[in-house]
């Protein structure tokens, strides 16, 4: 498809993505490659028979997030308007140009221009999506997606699985709902943590982490410090350097907040210990075993968490049926 060829010509290092130049390049091309692979397996997308436009409200964290929905809208021949995030608008502006989409940078301007036959697909924090939903005209076709969290559950760790999980953690520096917040391991958790640390150390040279946002510094130091304290008490060590960390912590210390290039490993004896996760807004499960009886909206293998296949479905919602036809 011509649009994918045009995307490959763009230079993501020219935009503020929050990533290192190498990280931005890797994330950009991984995303385009996934789209290209997905096109060969995608069912036929019907051409829309309804008037109106698709508005995509873009978040600032994962700069490639609009790509699959733009591609599907293009196949449906549905005009698109992109609402760029105020924090990082450059990538959205460049992507809009490739797809011939309109660009809006002001929230108030966007809300004034939305028509009654338009549709809105939104991504962002819970508060932002709640505010957007309350501001949209009543009865408007919409699908708004707030914060979710992802985890990995490993039964039989291997160096290959450790490498895959390290890539899951490194892509986008932990930004976005599909980045693993933690790994729960049923066997040989200490070896898995050590192997993940080895891979994150390698990736720190190959694909350096972007700058750590200042407000995350205290959280980073708190988690590393806690792991080191527990290690001193004979429970678990912490593998860490300036730009990456793999704390080993009891499952009771698991948190749903992802930090850039930090991947905690939590030993468990049985998957029943994961029942409390059901209270969270879950996104992706990466596992080398069977799926869990938990409300994850996507299950995949380690290494594919941040590289979803092209699909019409997001968080159990068929967005083509809801918004595009």
Distance of alpha carbon 208 from alpha carbon 159, whole angstroms: 21
Take residue 111 and report the two structure tokens written for it: 């809300």
| Residues above pLDDT 70, as percent of the chain | 98
Architecture of domain 149-296: 3-Layer(aba) Sandwich (3.40)
Which uninterrupted H or E stretch holds 103? strand 102-104
User: Which residues is 123 bridged to in the sheet?
Assistant: 145
Residues of the chain with CATH 3.40.605.10: 2-147+311-324
pLDDT at 10: 97
Longest CA pairwise span in the chain (Å): 66
Distance of alpha carbon 168 from alpha carbon 199, whole angstroms: 11
Write the CB contacts of 174 (distance below 8 Å, at least 6 apart in sequence). Answer: 258, 259, 260, 261, 262
Whether 129 shows a pLDDT value over 70: the answer reads: yes
pLDDT at 235: 57
Q: Output helix, strand, coil percentages for the chain, rounded to the nearest 5.
A: 40, 20, 40
- What pLDDT digit, counting tens, does each position of 79-120 carry? 999 999 998 999 999 999 999 999 999 999 999 999 999 999
User: Which residues is 183 bridged to in the sheet?
Assistant: 152, 265
Other Cβ atoms less than 10 A from the Cβ of 258: the count is 24
Mean pLDDT over each residue of the chain, to the nearest integer = 94
CA atoms within 13 A on the CB side of 118: 20
Write the CB contacts of 270 (distance below 8 Å, at least 6 apart in sequence). Answer: 186
Distance of alpha carbon 107 from alpha carbon 127, whole angstroms: 14
Residues of the chain with CATH 3.40.309.10: 149-296
pLDDT at 233: 59
- What pLDDT digit, counting tens, does each position of 195-213 carry? 999 999 999 999 999 998 8
pLDDT tier, 227 (very low <50, low <70, confident <90, very high otherwise): confident
For the residues 142-149, what does the mean pLDDT come to?
96
Whether 300 shows a pLDDT value over 90: the answer reads: yes
For the residues 163-171, what does the mean pLDDT come to?
97
- What pLDDT digit, counting tens, does each position of 1-10 carry? 789 999 999 9
CATH fold of 2-147+311-324, please? Aldehyde Dehydrogenase; Chain A, domain 1 (3.40.605)
Other Cβ atoms less than 10 A from the Cβ of 88: the count is 17
Take residue 283 and report the two structure tokens written for it: 């996104």
């Amino acid at each position: 498809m011509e649009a994918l060829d045009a995307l490959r010509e763009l230079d993501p290092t020219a935009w503020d993505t929050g990533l290192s130049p190498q990280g931005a390049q890797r994330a950009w091309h991984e995303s385009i490659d996934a789209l290209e692979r997905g096109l060969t397996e995608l069912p036929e997308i019907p051409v829309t028979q309804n008037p109106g436009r698709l508005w995509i409200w873009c978040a600032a964290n994962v700069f490639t997030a609009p790509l699959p929905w733009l591609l599907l809208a293009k196949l449906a021949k549905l005009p698109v308007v992109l609402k760029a995030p105020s924090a990082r608008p450059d990538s959205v502006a460049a992507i809009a140009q490739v797809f011939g989409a309109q660009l809006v940078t002001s929230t108030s301007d966007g809300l004034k221009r939305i028509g009654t036959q338009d549709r809105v697909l939104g991504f962002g924090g819970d508060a932002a999506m709640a505010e957007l939903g309350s501001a949209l005209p009543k009865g408007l076709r919409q699908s708004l997606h707030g914060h979710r969290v992802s985890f990995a559950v490993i039964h039989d760790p291997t160096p290959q699985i450790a490498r895959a999980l390290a890539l899951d953690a490194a892509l986008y520096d932990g930004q976005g709902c599909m980045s693993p917040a933690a790994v729960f391991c049923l066997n040989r958790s200490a070896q898995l943590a050590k192997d993940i640390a080895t891979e994150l150390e390698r990736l720190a040279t190959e694909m350096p982490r972007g700058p750590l946002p200042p407000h995350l510094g205290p959280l980073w130091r708190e988690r590393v410090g806690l792991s080191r304290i527990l290690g001193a008490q004979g429970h678990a060590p912490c593998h860490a350097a300036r730009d990456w960390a793999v704390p080993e912590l009891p499952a009771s210390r698991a948190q749903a907040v992802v930090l850039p290039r930090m991947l905690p490993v939590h030993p468990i004896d049985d998957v029943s210990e994961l029942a409390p996760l059901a209270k969270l807004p879950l996104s992706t499960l990466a596992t080398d075993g069977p799926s869990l009886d938990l409300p994850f909206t996507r299950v995949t293998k380690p290494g594919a968490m941040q590289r979803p296949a092209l699909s019409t479905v997001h968080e159990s919602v068929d967005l083509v049926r809801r918004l595009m036809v």
